C-alpha cells in the first residue's frame, strides 16, 4: 500500500501530535506550504525545541535540568552544569543513576574544536572471580545482589571532568543535589511508576529498604522524599573530592557491606580506581560524522548499524515504512551479533574496532539482509549467555554553554536500583554492572578482578560542518539501535532534534529470534506487512518507556543553541537566563 494511503487510513485514530513518526520530508513540506495560505492544521510534534543564544541543560527530570541551568547562570560552563545536573538526578531519579553507578561522557571543547571521551566505568573487585562464583555453584552471573556489584566509577568521573574542563569548586556544583537530598523533593510521575515497579529489588537488603521504602512503600506521585544519608555522602565528596568516596568512611562502609554479603573488597580496589580518557570512535553517515566511545561500551554497534543502513536509500523508502524498518531491524541484529562476539575490556582482549567499523565489513554484512524475510538467528552460539538479559535503568543528559562547549553524558546503575544493595548510612544503591560479565573461561568478556564488563551506556555526538549535536537515548541494549534511529531521523528525514527524539521507535532487546517491539504510532498496515515478513511484533503503546528516553542539545553556524527532551521521560530542556541587569 502506498505510504500516503497508509497515513490517510491511520489518521482518524490518533491525535495529531503523535503522528510525527509517520511523516516523510515531502509530506511535511507539503503541509508547511499549505499552512502558508490557510489556517494551521495542528502540531506535528508534541514539543517545540528550546532555542537560545545562551546555555541549555536537557535531562530526564526538570529539577535536575533547572539546577544545571542555574550553574550556568552562576558563571559555570557546560561541564560544571552537567555534573550539577547529574548529581541532582542521582537524588531525584535514584533507581536509574547515582554515585553508586558508572559514567561515560563526550566533551566538545569549543576553543579547540576537539572531542574528548571519558570512560568512568568501574572494575570488578578483588574477590569477584569466576572461581569464587563456581564455589557457590553459580554458572551464570547473578543479576542482583553483591555478586553483581562492580566498583562505582561516577564520582571519579566527575573528578576527571572537573580537573580537565571545570571552572567551579565541587562544593558549589553539588549544592543543589545536597539541598534536594536534605530537604526533599516531590516525586514525579514516570519516576514514581518506576519506583513502584522496582520495589521488589529493594526488599532483600536492609539498607535498601531503609533508604528507599520509607513507611514500607515506594513514594507516590507528589510525595516528598528525603535522603539525608545521601546528603551526607555528597557533603563528603564536596569537601574531599574523589577521596570522600573512594577512601575514608564511605569506602569502609562499602568494604564492610561486601564482606557481610560474602565478597572480599579491598581498600585498593577503591583507592586505585581511575577513569580513562579515551579516543572516541566514529563513522560517516551520508556526509555527517557520528561519534561514540570505544569498547568496553556498545557504541560500536550503533556505528556498525549506521554503516549498514547507509547501503539502503531510506529516505526514498519513507520514515517508519515497511522497507525502512525492515532494514534497520535486520541491521540491528547483525551489528549486535558482532558486538557480543568481540567486545570486552580492551585491556584484556584485542577488540577489532577498525575491522568492525570498516565500510567493507558493512557492505558484506548488509548483503546478508534479505529484503523479503526477517532473519531469526544471527547471534553466535558462543555468546548465548547474553540472550535474555533484563532491561536497564539509566539517565542520559546533555548540556551546552553560551561559548558553545557541549557535554554528552550518560550515567547508570544498570538495573532499577542497581544490585539492590545499599551500604547502611550511605544513601545510594550500588550498581549491578557485574551482571554483564560472562563466566565462560576465555571469553573476551569473562569475569576477572580489576576488569571492566561489556557496558551498555553510551553518549553520542553528531556533526556536519558547523552543526553539532550532543545526544543520547538511555535504556540498556536499546541504546545503540535508538541512536541509529535518531541519526536517521535527522539525516534521512530532516527532523529537528526534538522531532527526532519524539518519533516512534522500535526496539529489540533480545539477541536471538525475530521478536521486536514497536510503538503504536507506527501504522497498523506497516506492522501487518512486517509480520508477513516474519517479524514477531509486540506493540507497546504511544510513547513507551521501553524505547528509552533521550535528550539532545545542538548548535549551528549562527551561534544559536537548541535543546530537545524526550516526552517518554519526566524531564525538559531548560535554558540559561542571561544577566538581566540594565547595561
> What amino acid positions are annotated as catalytic residues?
394
Whole-angstrom distance, CA of residue 551 vs CA of residue 571: 9
53-68: string of b/e by CB count within 10 Å (b at 16+)?
A: ebbbbbbbbbbbbbbb
Closest C-alpha to 399, from 127, 144, 85: 85
> Of 393, 99, 446, 415, which Cα lies nearest the Cα of 254?
99
Rounded Cα distance, 22 and 40, in Å: 19
d(CA 292, CA 301): 10
Neighbouring residues of 132: CB distance < 8 A, sequence distance ≥ 6: 263
Please state the three-class secondary structure of 418-459 as a single string: CCCECCCCCCCCECCHHHHCECCCCCCCECCCCCCCCECCCC
Residue in 55, 84, 92 with CA at minimum distance from that of residue 67:
84
Dihedral (C-alpha) 510, 514, 519, 520: value to the nearest 10 degrees? Answer: -150
**SS3 annotation, 534-577:** CCEEEECCCCCHHHCCEEEEEECCCCCEEEEECCCCECEEEECC
- Distance, in Å, from the CA atom of 162 to the CA atom of 164, rounded to the nearest integer, reads 5
CA 402 to chain centre: 25
Is residue 181 a contact partner of residue 227, using CB atoms and an 8 Å limit?
A: yes
92: left (phi over 0), alpha (psi -120 to 50) or beta: alpha
* Range list of β-strands (E), 316-441: 393-400, 406-414
Taking the C-alpha atoms of residue 14 and residue 9, their distance in angstroms, rounded to an integer, is: 11
Whole-angstrom distance, CA of residue 447 vs CA of residue 148: 11
> Are the CB atoms for 230 and 428 separated by under 8 Å?
yes
| Interacting residues of 15 by C-beta distance below 8 A, sequence separation 6+ | none
Reduced to 3 DSSP states, what percent helix, strand and coil does the chain have, rounded to the nearest 5?
40, 15, 40
Collapse the DSSP code of 581 into the 3-class scheme (helix H, G, I; strand E, B; otherwise coil) and give the result.
coil
- Distance spanning both ends of the chain, measured CA to CA: 62
- Specify the long-range contacts of residues 310-313, CB closer than 8 Å, at least 24 apart: 310/285, 310/286, 310/362, 311/362, 311/363, 311/366, 312/366
Amino acid at each position: 500500500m502506498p505510504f500516503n494511503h497508509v497515513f490517510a487510513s491511520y489518521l482518524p485514530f490518533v491525535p495529531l501530535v503523535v503522528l510525527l513518526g509517520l511523516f516523510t520530508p515531502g509530506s511535511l513540506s507539503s503541509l508547511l506550504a499549505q499552512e502558508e495560505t490557510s489556517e494551521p492544521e495542528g502540531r506535528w510534534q508534541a514539543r517545540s525545541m528550546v532555542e537560545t543564544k545562551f546555555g541549555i541543560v536537557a535531562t530526564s527530570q526538570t529539577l535536575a535540568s533547572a539546577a544545571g541551568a542555574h550553574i550556568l547562570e552562576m558563571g559555570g560552563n557546560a561541564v560544571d552544569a552537567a555534573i550539577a545536573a547529574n548529581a541532582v538526578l542521582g537524588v531525584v531519579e535514584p533507581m536509574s543513576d547515582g554515585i553508586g553507578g558508572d559514567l561515560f561522557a563526550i566533551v566538545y571543547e569549543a576553543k579547540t574544536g576537539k572531542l574528548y571521551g571519558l570512560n568512568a566505568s568501574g572494575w570488578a573487585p578483588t574477590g569477584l572471580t569466576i572461581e569464587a562464583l563456581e564455589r557457590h555453584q553459580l554458572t551464570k552471573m547473578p543479576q542482583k545482589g553483591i555478586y553483581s556489584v562492580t566498583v562505582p566509577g561516577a564520582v571519579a568521573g566527575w573528578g576527571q571532568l572537573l580537573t580537565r574542563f571545570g571552572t567551579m569548586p565541587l562544593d558549589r556544583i553539588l549544592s543543589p543535589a545536597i539541598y534536594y537530598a536534605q530537604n526533599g523533593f516531590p516525586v514525579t510521575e514516570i519516576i514514581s511508576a518506576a519506583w513502584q515497579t522496582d520495589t521488589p529489588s529493594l526488599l532483600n537488603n536492609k539498607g535498601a529498604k531503609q533508604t528507599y521504602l520509607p513507611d514500607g512503600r515506594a513514594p507516590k506521585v507528589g510525595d516528598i522524599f528525603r535522603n539525608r544519608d545521601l546528603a551526607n555522602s555528597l557533603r563528603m565528596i564536596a569537601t574531599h573530592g574523589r577521596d570522600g568516596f573512594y577512601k575514608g568512611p564511605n569506602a569502609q562502609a562499602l568494604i564492610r557491606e561486601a564482606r557481610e554479603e560474602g565478597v572480599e573488597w579491598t581498600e585498593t580496589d577503591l583507592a586505585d580506581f581511575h577513569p580513562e580518557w579515551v579516543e572516541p570512535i566514529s563513522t560517516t553517515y551520508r556526509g555527517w560524522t557520528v561519534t561514540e566511545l570505544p569498547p568496553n561500551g556498545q557504541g560500536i554497534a550503533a556505528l556498525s548499524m549506521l554503516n549498514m543502513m547507509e547501503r539502503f536509500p531510506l529516505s526514498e523508502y519513507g520514515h517508519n515504512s515497511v522497507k525502512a524498518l525492515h532494514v534497520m531491524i535486520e541491521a540491528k541484529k547483525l551489528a549486535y551479533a558482532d558486538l557480543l562476539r568481540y567486545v570486552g575490556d580492551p585491556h584484556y582482549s584485542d577488540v577489532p574496532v577498525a575491522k568492525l567499523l570498516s565500510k567493507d565489513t558493512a557492505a558484506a554484512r548488509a548483503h546478508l539482509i534479505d529484503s523479503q524475510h526477517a532473519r531469526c538467528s544471527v547471534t553466535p552460539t558462543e555468546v548465548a549467555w547474553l540472550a535474555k538479559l533484563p532491561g536497564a535503568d539509566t539517565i542520559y543528559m546533555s548540556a551546552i554553554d553560551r561559548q558553545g562547549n557541549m557535554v554528552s553524558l550518560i550515567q547508570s546503575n544498570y538495573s532499577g536500583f542497581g544490585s539492590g544493595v545499599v551500604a547502611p548510612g550511605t544513601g545510594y544503591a550500588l550498581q549491578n554492572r557485574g551482571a554483564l560479565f560472562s563466566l565462560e573461561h576465555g571469553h573476551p568478556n569473562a569475569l576477572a578482578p580489576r576488569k571492566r564488563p561489556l557496558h551498555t551506556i553510551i553518549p553520542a555526538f553528531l556533526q556536519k560542518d558547523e552543526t553539532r549535536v550532543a545526544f543520547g537515548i538511555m535504556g540498556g541494549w536499546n541504546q545503540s539501535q535508538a541512536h541509529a534511529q535518531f541519526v536517521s531521523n535527522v539525516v534521512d528525514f530532516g527532523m529537528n532534534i526534538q522531532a527526532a527524539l519524539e518519533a516512534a521507535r522500535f526496539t529489540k532487546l533480545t539477541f536471538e529470534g525475530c521478536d521486536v517491539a514497536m510503538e503504536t504510532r507506527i501504522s497498523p498496515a506497516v506492522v501487518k506487512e512486517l509480520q508477513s515478513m516474519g517479524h514477531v511484533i509486540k506493540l507497546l503503546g504511544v510513547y513507551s518507556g521501553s524505547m528509552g528516553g533521550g535528550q539532545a542539545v545542538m548548535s549551528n553556524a549562527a551561534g544559536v543553541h537548541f535543546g530537545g527532551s524526550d516526552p517518554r521521560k519526566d524531564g525538559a530542556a531548560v535554558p540559561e537566563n542571561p544577566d538581566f541587569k540594565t547595561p
